[in-house]
């Protein structure tokens, strides 16, 4: 994906946990890819939890689990880790790489930040989340002042 590209239709997800994903309407959204075997993904989960808490009601989070190996396709293990890391948002199980291909995701963790109009405004992979937090704050403020 390139900056300003539209958010793909997440409602095409067939396999998911928690609740069926829907495309956000007028709310900034963070779509993040992770995998159960990814150590960096696990280290980032507390930061994602802080984002979830700090921007509750002002930022929609959508999680996409992208397997890195056959063992990562174990839905029970994905569910167990999602409980451990308190992932409450929709989790798309992308065992067929449908969404990974559409997004062009090659690495996990990867983060895609969309504005309230559903346009990609920021992307980053496998880095610290400080730049992402800065962009989230900017987009949430932008959305709040637009109302």
Q: What is the pLDDT of residues 9-67, one digit of tens each?
A: 998 899 999 999 888 778 999 999 999 999 999 999 999 999 999 999 999 999 999 99
Q: Please indicate, yes or no, if residue 89 is contained in any of the structural domains.
A: yes
The half-sphere exposure of 85 on its side-chain side, counting CA atoms within 13 A, is 24
Domains in the chain, number: 1
**DSSP state string for 31-83:** EEEE-TT-HHHHHHHHHHHHHHHHTTTTSEEEEEE--SSGGGG-HHHHHHHHH
From the list 131, 122, 65, the residue with the least C-alpha distance to 99 is 65
Q: Please indicate, yes or no, if residue 114 is contained in any of the structural domains.
A: yes
Q: Please indicate, yes or no, if residue 5 is contained in any of the structural domains.
A: no
d(CA 126, CA 85) in angstroms, rounded, equals 18
Residue written as tokens 């920021």? 122
Query: Taking the CB of residue 95, how many other CB atoms lie within 10 A of it?
Result: 18
Could you tell me the residue range of the domain that residue 35 belongs to? 10-146
**CATH value at residue 54:** 3.40.30.10
8 pLDDT band, cuts 50/70/90, is very high
pTM: 0.94
| C-alpha dihedral sign at 52, 71, 37, 105 | negative
Q: Please indicate, yes or no, if residue 99 is contained in any of the structural domains.
A: yes
pLDDT score for 72:
96
Per DSSP, the three-state class of 123 is: strand
């Amino acid at each position: 994906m390139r900056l300003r590209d539209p958010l793909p239709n997440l409602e095409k997800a067939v396999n998911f946990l928690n609740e069926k994903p829907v495309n956000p309407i007028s709310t900034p959204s963070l779509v993040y890819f992770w995998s159960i075997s990814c150590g960096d993904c696990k280290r980032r989960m507390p930061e994602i939890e802080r984002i979830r808490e700090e921007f509750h009601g002002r930022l929609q989070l959508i999680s996409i689990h992208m397997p890195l190996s056959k063992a990562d396709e174990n839905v029970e293990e994905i569910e167990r880790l999602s409980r451990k890391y308190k992932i409450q948002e929709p989790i798309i199980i992308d065992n067929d790489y449908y969404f990974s291909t559409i997004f062009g995701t090659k690495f996990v963790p990867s983060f895609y930040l969309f504005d309230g109009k559903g346009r990609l405004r920021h992307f980053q992979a496998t880095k610290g989340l400080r730049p992402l937090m800065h962009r989230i704050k900017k987009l949430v403020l932008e959305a709040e002042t637009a109302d």
